[in-house]
Structure 1
Amino acid sequence: MNRLIRITKPEDVFPQYRNTPISMLLEYHNLNREFETYSQAQMLISMCMDNRKHLNIPDNFAFILRSGGGNLTYSEFKVSFAVAIGNVKYIAIIAHNKCGMVNLVSKKAQFIDGLVEKAGWSREKAEEHFKHYSPMFEIGNEIDFVLSEAKRLRTVYPQITVVPMYYKVEDNHLYLITE
């Protein structure tokens, strides 16, 4: 975890992100910066669908995409829309600790049983569903995943600043990651 940089004052933000929507996100969320008014999104934020996370940001500040693990692999069209139509030039990809998309195989039985018992699926259908989709959504280690996802998106959108971040559920803070 020594790759995580806690943001406790504006000067903690990496120099290349100062005075950008990235620093604003960190200052709003971690430092309780007074909200400004926005009429259009300044950035795109990708974060996990986990219900334990909530960002402290003003209305209209960002497009927000939520998916398991913050994985944007199957959301490129939405990202492209935010870039092409929404004019965003910054993307924050936020992973978090204790993510349910880590080690999905350990949740296989619970996943299948849950679909059978709660959704009325047949066991065979639930097993096939898990078998088909779990490899697509397994993220492995949260920090390694968010770093690789940022690297991947930088190749897809070379003129967009893509920043990997980490959210600690225990303290509700965003961290920058040393790459």
Structure 2
Amino acid sequence: MAQIVPINTREDIFPQYLNTPIGDLIEYHNFNKHFFESDKKYEHAELLIGMCMDNRKRLNIPEKFAYVIRTGAGNLRTSEFKVSYAIAVGGVRAIALIGHNKCGMANLKAKEQQFIDGLVDIGWDRKTAEDHFNHFAPMFEIGNELDFVLAEAKRLRHRYPKVLVAPMMYQLEDNRLYLLKSDKNES
């Protein structure tokens, strides 16, 4: 089971993320670390952020600091080429994988009828809408948000072994970033 770790001070940031783009992200977002006039100016992205397309989230980060890929649930499986591009061409060496609570990609089966009816309402044929859901829902279903983020971080670490990957959560109630730790100590 995953554990959500609050980050209220710089000392709460896991040691492996301190003085890295992951630590900088947390400081910019959670602590409002100033990044305008006197701070470091970024000439290129130092970080890739994979996060959900959900409109309830916004990160507080400087310009040119990060590539951001927003997909349902922050699922990067279907964005693998973009991830590879950011690493191979963009030169990033850290990935922040940010899930969030109350994600619409969790338990998609429960939203099947609403999904189909919504497409029918805008002119789709019901059978085509059903086929569309049945074809794509398994690809985008994430199950539990916390477990998904940890599993996706593990997959990315295996795929890109020299890239620092941090599993994180964004809590909608307080708009803050949290780090994730698994019982298997794979934070």
For the superposition of Structure 1 and Structure 2, which TM-score range results when normalised by the shorter chain?
A: over 0.9
- The Cα shift of 1:5 comes to 1.1
**Matched residue, 1:159:** 162
**Which position in structure 2 is the counterpart of 1:13?**
13
The whole-number CA distance in structure 1 between the counterparts of 2:73 and 2:155 is 15
Give 2:78's aligned amino acid: Y
After superposition, the Cα gap between the structure-2 partners of 1:2 and 1:68, relative to the gap in structure 1 and judged at 3 Å, is: closer
C-alpha deviation, 1:2, in angstroms = 7.4
Q: 1: distance between equivalents of 2:25 and 2:4?
A: 16
State the TM-score, normalizing by the size of structure 2: 0.93
Give the match for residue 25 of structure 2: 25
Give the structure 2 partner of residue 77 of structure 1: 81
Give aligned-pair identity as a percent. 61
How far, CA to CA, are the matches of 2:126 and 2:146 in structure 1?
Answer: 33
Structure 1 match to 2:70: 66
In 2, the alpha carbon distance for the partners of 1:6 and 1:112 equals 38
Q: Does 1:176 align with 2:179?
A: yes
| Residue of structure 2 in register with 1:126 after alignment | 129
Unpaired runs of 5+ in structure 1? none
**How far does the alpha carbon of each residue in 1:111-161 deviate from its partner, in whole angstroms, 9 at most, with x for none?**
00001102x110011000000000000000000000000000111101111
By how many angstroms is 1:7 displaced? Answer: 1.0
Q: CA deviation at 1:178?
A: 1.2
Q: TM-score, normalised by structure 1?
A: 0.97
**For the residues of structure 2 that align with 1:24 and 1:127, how far apart are their CA atoms?**
44
**Counterpart in the other structure of 1:109:** 113
Question: What secondary structure does 1:74 align onto?
Answer: helix
CA distance in 2 between counterparts of 1:174 and 1:73 reads 22
Is the aligned partner of 1:57 residue 2:53?
no
Taking only aligned residues, the RMSD between alpha carbons, in angstroms, comes to 1.0
Q: Which amino acid aligns with 1:130?
A: F
Residue segments in structure 2 that go unaligned for 5+ positions in a row: 183-187
What SS does the corresponding residue of 1:99 show, helix, strand or coil? coil
Which whole-Å CA distance do the structure 2 matches of 1:87 and 1:69 have between them? 24
Runs of 4+ in structure 1 displaced over 3 angstroms?
A: none
Q: Is the counterpart of residue 135 in structure 1 residue 138 in structure 2?
A: yes
Report how far residue 9 of structure 1 moved.
Answer: 1.1
Q: Amino acid of the residue matched to residue 123 of structure 1?
A: R
Aligned counterparts of 1:160 and 1:111: Cα–Cα separation in 2:
37
